[in-house]
Structure 1
């Protein structure tokens, strides 16, 4: 979800529909982030919901989209670490160890989210080709999976990538990653 300054202004004013939009748009990403640290879906889901309750209670404190997004990820991380420390039943092996690891994970998660959102705006067949390519399928596998020719896959990939460049023109880091994927 693209979190704008307008979203934050409306959130601080108590607009519940904007809060619900933020919740719907970010819940999945925050859960995925939490699952990297602990593989208990019910715990992660509860933690993310608690963080959103806190966001609503503290909504007047948030002034920018970046601070709001950082708060959400940091709060999820801290609550899960607290849960792990209190239960002492889960290994910390997959847990990001320092701020750089957390920032790298958040960047990767946000990049994936931005690309996924942009792919939804592509024509259906083109979107399927791009999704399969992003999941590591080669042209022959995509062609077989979608029952089309390899040339059709190449054309749809080329057109899809061109449309993604337009859709993501303001997201330079995403474009760099896409360029590497579609070399």
Structure 2
């Protein structure tokens, strides 16, 4: 059985200059960071670029980084901040002309069509519709808590809010989802019967 290093051990080795430790952290967290990032920004390329930016920036600043208790929460929060920074850039800023912008829109449309084909299941579609009734903050709390399996403390750290605020967001989310799913179940009872 292979011995795996803990996140803290990898973090310490990375801070001491181990490229291998950084690579292991990257491989360990890329799938979860990607899923989280796609929910914030539905452009796969921009999300993957932001993840790369996070790890490149970590490598550059490794000597100045402080000790952390939760590597996972730190990386998720770093990605969230990087996506927010990247989204502030004007989309027209890098476009030479309108054709570049139209190509960009076409790329987004193609990716969305691909995603839509993958999620044709009636149950998943119904749940997605229910989740659409949540505010961005409610959705983020639900995603971190249940899709990423974070504790309330970790979600609060990533979102940069107090634990009680996360509890309140989740409570309100449950109420919205109960109402949304109740209506869906009554409209489409065959979808939810097993």
TM-score (norm 1): 0.48
